[in-house]
Chains A and B, each alone.
Chain A
Amino acid sequence: MIRRRPPSDPAVAGLVKAASRSAFSRRHLLGGVGLGLGATALSACAPPAPPATAAALNLPTDVSDTDKVVRWANWTAYLDYDEEAKNYPTLQGFIEQTGIQATYSEDIEDNDAYYNKVRPQLIAGQDIGRDIFTFTDWMAGRVIREQLCQPLELIRMPNATNLLEPLKDVSFDPGRTHSLTWQSGFAGIGYNKEKVGRELKSLDDLWADDLKGKVVVLSEFRDTVGCILLHQGVDISKPVGKQQFETAVAEVEKRMADGNIRRIKGNSYLEDLKTGNAVAGIVWSGDLFVLRAETEDENWEFVIPESGGTLWSDNLMVPITSTHRRNAETLMNYYYQPEVAAQVAAYVNYICPVVGAQEVLAQSDPDLAESPFIFPSADYIAEHNITGFSALSAEADAEFSAIWQKVMGN
């Protein structure tokens, strides 16, 4: 998609004026009457004016005290689950401790898809049936920018001080006023040592001739392009320029044209690794440990490429239309107790953002507590040049994701 950049402010003003004029035209009136139903269903399609940047937040009245409910939308395999009891032990603990009925649904499979699903409703001020949703950094940034989430009252979440120091101030949410980290992870190289027959250390190793057509990369461009940018010597902790991004994207396109990359995929790349369609790729850290356990094959390895890997987090936020913000904060506060966080970390195998959880886990499972993929030390992160992909401006965000969709053949 080619997007025209705004030439200057008067032009924008002109467009806005034109838009508000058309709002009173007969065409609009007729259309409005005829399409009332359809328009309500898809009301996001025709907002009357662009969002006012400095508008006061209009928070709904909180009914947490009388309505003891909290509804949480999260990603798959992201909370400790008891196969036998068919429940989430830590969540069960929360319900017993607080008397708040927490419901948990694995609604989110993809940042974009979930965001686009709930965005129209949030803009229209409708309840989406969830009081917490979980988005990756960049999408959390977009949600905060669009004022689709509520500010959090840190004073009601004393345990939030347990948040790891580097995560306390992040580029997409300065001062952590709107979000709280759920889990973090790395993106790097994952491969099967036995099937590849050697160790893979850098991205160049991935493009070896004998691995042609056996490599998958993530559809999350901040991870795939991020790793390639690091390989090209770009510091991704600073906003990435369009030219730098395009150079990295050209590399991906070249590897696809040469037949190195088999497919750019979302989380389903795990299936390809299992069936043998792929033996290596740019993947997420926790997944490879899940894969190890599921296939009972110790040959699955996860390494941070020599040039560095990316670090991302998923963040808990309260949708702007939720009327249970305080219950949501109670739940976040609960999960920031080291004991609870340790229990979750032992199950999901992603980086635990809660200080003190490592000490708790050391008592029950010393090996796990030593894992750099759950409790990476600051030295480990610095040594391996692991960086988060810096937040992008609204326009760069939209522009880059459009470029990336093109790469993916869409």
Chain B
Amino acid sequence: MSTLAHVGAGASGAPTSPSPEPAKKSRLAYLLLLPGAVWLLVFFVIPLVQLFTVSLQSQFPGYPGYYYRDVNVGNYWRAFTDFGPHFGRSLLFAGLATFFAFCLAYPLAYAMAFKAGKWRGVMMILVIAPFFTSFILRTVAWRQILADEGPVATTLNTLHLLPGGRITETWMAVVAGLTYNFLPFMVLPIYASLERADHRIIEAGGDLYANGFTTFRTVTLPMSMPGVLAGTLLTFIPAAGDYVNAELLGSDNTKMVGNVIESQFFRVLGGFPTAAALSFTLMAIILALVFVYVRKFGTEELL
């Protein structure tokens, strides 16, 4: 999220067209920027710097839970070596969830943009409706639906499609939960970019003797890329840091980085520096991945 906030702030801060009274205009721009900038400073930059100093603190030996200011890079090393598998799982699960969400969201957004007609409004509401209930409650509800004696598990078990005999407390449940919870974040940007697309250009594809698939591949899909890019980022970034799904739907061997950060902060006495170092490592990994990804697939329109 933070990356996007930066991009947004940067984009709106740069006046693009030359104006007759540049000084006055730019002062207005800065004035408009002020609330956002103050907000970012107070709620993002300051806590971030604070967290960074925490991540370098050391512990008084013999006094669990007491720290002193230090430059203890060992925290980072330990965060990475002790919890490597958790990082792997976070990225893997988030990647899978992003992939599945994309597979589900694209046809849905496509149908909404081009085929829904009068149903468009209803479909829109259905996509947004889950937000009216709390994220946690919906995930807890999935525990009930996927329970061993629930309809899904019993059906799959009768068909012998469930190797472990259960859905909850497996990585499948975690990925399914992530996919479900972040699906709207994928649908909405794709829908927005498809809806904005010029129909005449798509029709032109047919006029130029391209078949449906070729038109889609060479015209529709590229036109929706800004939406796909935004959607994948909005899904992947929060999913990689999520701990609710792994906690509620997963088991003790499917925990993600978010769970470790939570437990180091709140359950392990003296875990503050490790938790902070973990947070920063996760942030750095995601930033690097997103940077490469946007460089490769990014379009002018997004940046």
Contact = CB atoms under 8 A, between A and B. Distances in A.
Binding partners A and B: yes
Interface string B122-165: 00000000000000000000011001111000000000000011
B78 interface: yes
B47 A277 contact: no
Contacts of A407: 252
Nearest to A23: B69
B274 A38 contact: no
Interface string B231-265: 00000000000000000000111110001101111
Interface hub of B47, B68, B148 (most chain A Cβ within 10 A): B68
A287 to B, nearest CB: 18
A146 B18 CA distance: 63
A262 interface: yes
Contacts of B150: 275
Interface stretch (A12-20, A311-319, A320-328, A337-345): A12-20
B148 A397 contact: no
A43 to B, nearest CB: 10
A276 B268 contact: no
Contacts of B262: 410
Contacts of A46: 53-54, 57, 67-69
Interface residues of A, number: 57
Interface string A396-410: 011001100101111
Contact of B50 (A1, A6, A42, A408): A42
Contacts, number: 159
A410 B263 contact: yes
Nearest to A396: B64
B205 interface: no
B266 interface: yes
Nearest to B168: A277
Given A256-B252, A277-B166, A405 B66 contact: no
B65 interface: yes
Contact of B63 (A18, A51, A113): A51
A91 to B, nearest CB: 29
B106 interface: no
Nearest to B68: A19
A61 interface: no
B49 interface: yes
Interface string A258-278: 000011100000010001110
B147 A275 contact: yes
Contacts of B148: 275-277
Contact of A51 (B47, B66, B259, B265): B66
14 contacts: A2-B78, A3-B61, A12-B62, A15-B68, A28-B69, A31-B69, A34-B49, A38-B47, A45-B67, A50-B62, A213-B165, A398-B269, A405-B263, A409-B252
Which 7 A-B pairs rank lowest in CB-CB distance, beginning with the nearest?
A38-B50, A398-B64, A410-B263, A19-B68, A409-B252, A276-B149, A6-B61
